Amino acid sequence: MEITNVMEYEKIAKEKLPKMVYDYYASGAEDQWTLQENRNAFSRILFRPRILIDVSNIDVSTTVLGFNISMPIMIAPTAMQKMAHPDGELATARATSAAGTIMTLSSWATCSVEEVASTGPGIRFFQLYVYKDRNVVRQLVKRAEEAGFKAIALTVDTPRLGRRESDIKNRFELPRGLTLKNFEGLDLGKIVKTDDSGLASYVAGQVDKSLSWKDITWLQSITSLPILVKGVITAEDARIAVEYGAAGIIVSNHGARQLDYVPATIMALEEVVKAVEGRIPVFLDGGVRRGTDVFKALALGASGVFVGRPTLFSLAADGEAGVRKMLQMLRDEFELTMALSGCRSLREISRNHIKTDWDTPHYLPAKL
């Protein structure tokens, strides 16, 4: 079957993957309302395209934290990619590098930071969970730095793991032969079967519930890498993140896997963008499946987007080639959206290119 859009990879992945693995990747928390809403909210934003603009040359390139990348579409951190494909994160790293964009490696990857670095050059960020044992964190951050990673994406929405009912039903565990490679030498690399979700038990035992804003200062004291705060969805927290010297914010609800009934990230984005007042860049993840979604996020003030599940499903379907094609399709759709909206560069994408269902209709003509 010829793949013509990113969503089609999910169907193939569902057929190929064991139920426990597919459910782990695909599911959200509790009623999964936010999981649906992350997608549905994009459909409530419509375009206001401008016409008769010369769009024979379109530039989709941008810079993120001073790094030049080919497009504002990057890879979000997703855990345990060897469950999807034997090459796991190595395939994702090669595909992302070939596309000229940024990969974020999960703390809970099935390949280590060193293994990912060994795939060759590329701009890579490291997603960090803060463990109770701070020496583990210190060691991990140092290893990421030494392996050439360029930023830390600090996940701040997971003091405890959200209730993912399919993982409980499936008694989720890391399949035989796989480990959380970054923790292997620390005896923290295994997720075993419990009478609950094995991952929930692991998080309860290892991840620091006391994490607070002062720990961003601590993190800054142990690394010179810029710190992106991942998991902000309110103006209040956005302002505090700026005060604490965050290099950027990722508006994220953890793929709708933590607290259900939070807004879709695309709905929370503008509030966060307005709160930071241009002082630091704001990014978005959650629900991006089309180039049109990327354009909508940028029109609402995002500097770029990260994609998670599309990476896992395209990897499951066709390994490195799948991830390459997924990124290319999003890029092509985004470029087409720009052309049809009358935008030749990211600078030209503005709030006036979209209308949302929460807008005041300032641009509608007066009644005749």
Residue 194, pLDDT score: 62
Of 260, 323, 263, nearest to 42 by C-alpha is 263
Q: Express each pLDDT in 186-227 by its tens digit.
A: 756 455 556 555 565 665 678 889 999 999 999 999 999 999
User: Which segments within 45-122 are labelled E, that is strand?
Assistant: 45-47, 62-64, 67-69, 73-75, 102-105
Q: Is the pTM of this model over 0.85?
A: yes
| Sign of CA pseudo-dihedral 273, 159, 78, 144 | positive
* First CA to last CA distance, the chain: 52
Residue 200, pLDDT score: 55
Phi-psi region of 256 (alpha: psi -120 to 50; beta: other; left: phi over 0): left
Residue 119, pLDDT score: 97
Residue 368, pLDDT score: 47
Residues of the chain where predicted confidence (pLDDT) is lower than 70: 187-204, 360-368
For Cα atoms 353, 250, 35, give the angle at the middle one, nearest 5 degrees. 80
Is 85 assigned a catalytic role?
A: no
**Which residues on neighbouring strands pair with residue 135, listed in sequence order?**
none
8 A C-beta contact, residue 254 and residue 178? no
How far apart CA 140 and CA 113 sit, in angstroms, is 9
**Residue 26, phi then psi, degrees to nearest 5:** -90, -25
How far apart CA 154 and CA 259 sit, in angstroms, is 18
How far apart CA 97 and CA 232 sit, in angstroms, is 27
Query: What is the DSSP secondary structure assignment for residue 108, as one 8-state letter?
Result: T
Q: In the chain, what are the helix, strand and coil shares in percent, each to the nearest 5?
A: 45, 15, 40
Both tokens of 249, joined, read 């914010």
| Sign of CA pseudo-dihedral 296, 300, 301, 302 | negative
Sorted by sequence, the CB contacts under 8 Å of residue 310 that are 6+ apart come out as 6, 9, 288, 289, 326, 330
> Which residue type sits at 191?
I
Q: Mapping DSSP to helix (H, G, I), strand (E, B) and coil, where does residue 253 land?
A: coil
